[in-house]
Amino acid sequence: DSGVTQTPKHLITATGQRVTLRCSPRSGDLSVYWYQQSLDQGLQFLIQYYNGEERAKGNILERFSAQQFPDLHSELNLSSLELGDSALYFCASSVDPTAGSSYEQYFGPGTRLTVT
Q: Which is nearer to another protein, 55 or 75 (CB)?
A: 55
Strand partners, 67: 75
Among 10, 62, 71, 103, binds another protein (CB under 8 A): 103
Minimum gap (Å) between residue 93 Cβ and another protein: 11
Under rule CB under 8 A, residue 108 binds another protein? yes
98 — phi, psi (to 5°)? -80, -15
Among 50, 63, 82, 114, binds another protein (CB under 8 A): 50
Strand partners, 13: 115
Q: Which residue type, as a one-letter code, is found at position 98?
A: T
Under rule CB under 8 A, residue 55 binds another protein? yes
The residue count for the chain:
116
Close Cβ partners of 25 (under 8 Å, ≥ 6 residues apart): 3, 4, 31, 32, 72, 73, 74, 91, 93, 106
Under rule CB under 8 A, residue 75 binds another protein? no
Give the x-and-dash track for 7-46 against another protein (CB under 8 A).
------------------------x-x-x------xx-x-
Dist. CA 113–CA 13, nearest whole Å? 8
Under rule CB under 8 A, residue 64 binds another protein? no
